[in-house]
Amino acid sequence: MEIHWATVGSPLGELLLTADPDGTLTSLSVPGQKGGRTVQHGWRHDPALFREAEEQLAAYFAGERKEFRLRRRSEGTPFRQRVWNAIESLPYGATTTYGEIAARIGAPRAAVRAVGGAIGANPLLVVRPCHRIIGADGSLTGYAGGLDRKVRLLTLEGVLPPAGAAG
């Protein structure tokens, strides 16, 4: 399948977006992301295909958009799809834990590590808000885009106080 791509500037660095020829978003990667995509030979640079995504991302980073309305598709096992669907239902400014995601999809408590693996494999950072998943003790556990970016996103959404704010 032909892959189209573009980059979009953001407070997290230059985002790499990929899509099907019809414009369905298939990935959003941040610089240095664990498991993130990089432009491959044969991909088609097509910034016009990503105008709507660019506008929605800009509005999100400006604090003017709380959810994304973009066509998106991700390849993954049925288990990963269930986890990703659960993540997509998390509202802006809310967090949940890996265990709560496991319970939400009907997986046993022992599946928490598998849930973590599915979250870590999320190909649509920011748009599919895996940054809203935290540890059971409230800690900001791993994020494929880096913990500094997770902090930035959760601060933007009002979950964390701005740096330097009195606590």
The catalytic residue positions are 130
CA-closest candidate to residue 16, choices 32, 33, 35, 29: 29
Pairing state between β 96-97 and 44-45: unpaired
